[in-house]
């Protein structure tokens, strides 16, 4: 039988969760999926924001240098971990698939650079360690970005579950939302709009000076700062989109079926493609749903480069 003898959830390259069970069995197969590296906001976070697209060298929504390094280090982690399992790239042994998003494609390329630096006869230019390694791009995104497709059943399920919940959130934070509307320049701020302001955190992470209201404390919310409250609202909003097994199945089932099918074939000794390692580079919404499908409900915001790995 196929069994998961080690499950790893990584924050960049730090192991957060590892099963206590150990195995003396020889490693046979690896499947892994991760969220792309650090990126710029998809658009101007709010009308009054001082930082327009010129603040982000590659433009809105694109991977940053921080994100490239995160993914490169993830590739190096793979290289160290699987050094005795695979040494050089072979298209028959390894396959990388990415969603159509430019940041997931760039993340996949950075991982491959860290995982398979050119050596020996692979070196094609002086001391250059980069080598062109092909990756597959999911043309329909059905597997790695199912949210790009309409799913009426999912929408009905989500609306039914969240209607009262969202109403209560809007009521609880009514004055906070009015404050946000005044300082951001939005005509109106509701739960969804407030959650979207979490993009401000990306600016903070890149040492961009923020206006005083970002760090204003709120006594009615345990003296948390504005950005802390926004972060919590983002967490709640994200969870509300996938916090049931039904939602997870509707949005994460295709990849899960692919994983299980490949796992069964490996356990039965049947040929699989690729022969050793299958890698997936995905966007964050899908990654949340996929993890919820496999594990219990996740109640935290997953950072960039969070990774799930299944070994046999």
Neighbours of 135 (CB within 10 A): 16
Quick one: 15 and 117 in the same domain? yes
Q: Which of 65, 52, 80 lies closest to 208 in space, CA to CA?
A: 52
Question: Tokens 């594990």 correspond to what residue?
Answer: 295
E strand intervals along the chain: 7-11, 14-18, 30-35, 94-98, 136-137, 217-218, 224-225, 277-282, 307-311
For the entire predicted model, the pTM comes to: 0.84
Is 285 within the bounds of a domain? Answer: yes
Pairing assessment for the beta strands 277-282 and 30-35 based on DSSP bridges: parallel
Instruction: Kindly report which listed range (216-220, 264-268, 270-274, 304-308) carries the lowest average pLDDT score.
Output: 304-308
Q: How confident is the model at residue 256 (pLDDT cuts 50, 70, 90)?
A: confident
Per-residue pLDDT tens for 29-79?
999 988 899 999 999 999 999 999 999 999 999 999 999 999 999 999 999
Angle at CA of residue 45, ends 138 and 302, nearest 5°: 55
The pLDDT value given to residue 33: 87
Q: Which domain holds residue 223?
A: 152-240
The pLDDT value given to residue 139: 72
**Beta-bridge mates of residue 310:** 7, 31
- Do 309 and 4 meet the contact criterion of CB atoms below 8 Å apart? no
Structure tokens at 211: 């206006």
**CA 55 to CA 220: how far, in whole Å?**
34
Quick one: 26 and 141 in the same domain? yes
Q: Which of 13, 18, 14, 16 lies closest to 311 in space, CA to CA?
A: 18
Q: Which of 44, 50, 25 lies closest to 267 in space, CA to CA?
A: 25
pLDDT of residue 145 exceeding 60, the answer is no
Quick one: 231 and 264 in the same domain? no
pLDDT of residue 22 exceeding 80, the answer is no
Final residue in a domain of this structure, among 182, 205, 240: 240
Find the mean pLDDT for residues 7-27. 46
Quick one: 117 and 15 in the same domain? yes
Quick one: 69 and 162 in the same domain? no
pLDDT of residue 9 exceeding 50, the answer is no
Quick one: 145 and 269 in the same domain? yes
Final residue in a domain of this structure, among 208, 240, 272: 240
pLDDT of residue 132 exceeding 90, the answer is yes
pLDDT of residue 8 exceeding 60, the answer is no
The pLDDT value given to residue 4: 40
Higher pLDDT, 9 or 272: 272
**CA 289 to CA 297: how far, in whole Å?**
9
- Do 19 and 5 meet the contact criterion of CB atoms below 8 Å apart? yes
The pLDDT value given to residue 1: 38
Quick one: 48 and 161 in the same domain? no
Is 2 within the bounds of a domain? Answer: no
Find the mean pLDDT for residues 268-292. 79
The pLDDT value given to residue 282: 83
Find the mean pLDDT for residues 219-240. 94
Per-residue pLDDT tens for 55-69?
999 999 999 999 999
Structure tokens at 11: 């924050």
Per-residue pLDDT tens for 230-244?
999 998 988 777 766
Is 259 within the bounds of a domain? Answer: yes
Quick one: 276 and 217 in the same domain? no
Quick one: 144 and 25 in the same domain? yes
Quick one: 85 and 207 in the same domain? no
Higher pLDDT, 152 or 81: 81
pLDDT of residue 270 exceeding 90, the answer is yes
Is 1 within the bounds of a domain? Answer: no
Is 196 within the bounds of a domain? Answer: yes
Is 245 within the bounds of a domain? Answer: no
Final residue in a domain of this structure, among 181, 205, 240: 240
Find the mean pLDDT for residues 118-146. 84
Quick one: 128 and 266 in the same domain? yes
Domain at 88, CATH number: 3.40.50.1240
Is 281 within the bounds of a domain? Answer: yes
Per-residue pLDDT tens for 158-171?
777 778 888 999 99
Is 89 within the bounds of a domain? Answer: yes
Q: Count how many domains the chain has.
A: 2
Q: Which of 246, 233, 255 lies closest to 308 in space, CA to CA?
A: 255
Angle at CA of residue 85, ends 80 and 88, nearest 5°: 80
Contacts by 264-271 with C-beta closer than 8 Å and gap 24+?
264/2, 266/2, 266/28, 266/29, 266/312, 267/1, 267/2, 267/3, 267/312
Q: Check whether the bond before 274 is cis (ω within 30° of 0).
A: yes
pLDDT > 70 in the chain, percent = 75
Quick one: 270 and 163 in the same domain? no
């Amino acid at each position: 039988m196929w069994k998961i003898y080690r499950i790893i959830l990584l924050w960049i390259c730090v192991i957060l969760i590892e099963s206590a069970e150990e195995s003396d069995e020889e490693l046979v197969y690896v499947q892994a999926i991760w969220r792309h590296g650090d990126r710029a906001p998809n658009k101007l976070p709010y009308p009054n924001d001082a930082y327009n697209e010129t603040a982000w060298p590659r433009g809105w929504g694109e991977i940053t240098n921080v994100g490239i390094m995160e993914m490169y280090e993830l590739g190096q982690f793979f290289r160290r971990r699987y050094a005795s399992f695979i040494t050089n790239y072979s298209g028959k042994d390894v396959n990388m698939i990415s969603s159509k998003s430019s940041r997931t494609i760039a993340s996949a390329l950075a991982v491959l650079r860290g995982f398979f630096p050119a050596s020996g006869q692979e070196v094609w230019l002086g001391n250059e360690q980069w080598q062109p390694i092909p990756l597959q791009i999911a043309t329909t995104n059905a597997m790695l970005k199912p949210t790009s497709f309409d799913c009426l059943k999912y929408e009905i399920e989500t609306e039914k579950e969240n209607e009262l919940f969202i109403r209560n959130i809007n009521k609880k934070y009514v004055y906070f939302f009015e404050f946000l509307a005044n300082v951001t320049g939005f005509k109106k701020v509701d739960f969804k709009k407030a959650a979207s302001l979490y993009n401000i955190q990306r600016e903070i992470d890149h040492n961009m000076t923020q206006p005083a209201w970002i760090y204003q404390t709120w006594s009615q919310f345990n003296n948390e700062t504005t950005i802390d409250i926004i972060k919590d609202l983002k967490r709640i909003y994200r969870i509300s989109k996938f916090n049931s097994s039904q939602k997870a199945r509707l949005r994460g089932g295709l990849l899960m079926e692919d994983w299980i099918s490949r796992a069964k074939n490996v356990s039965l000794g049947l040929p699989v493609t690729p022969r050793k390692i299958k890698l997936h580079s995905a966007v964050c919404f899908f990654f949340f749903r996929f993890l919820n499908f496999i594990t219990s409900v996740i109640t935290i915001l997953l950072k960039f480069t969070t990774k799930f790995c299944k070994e046999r």
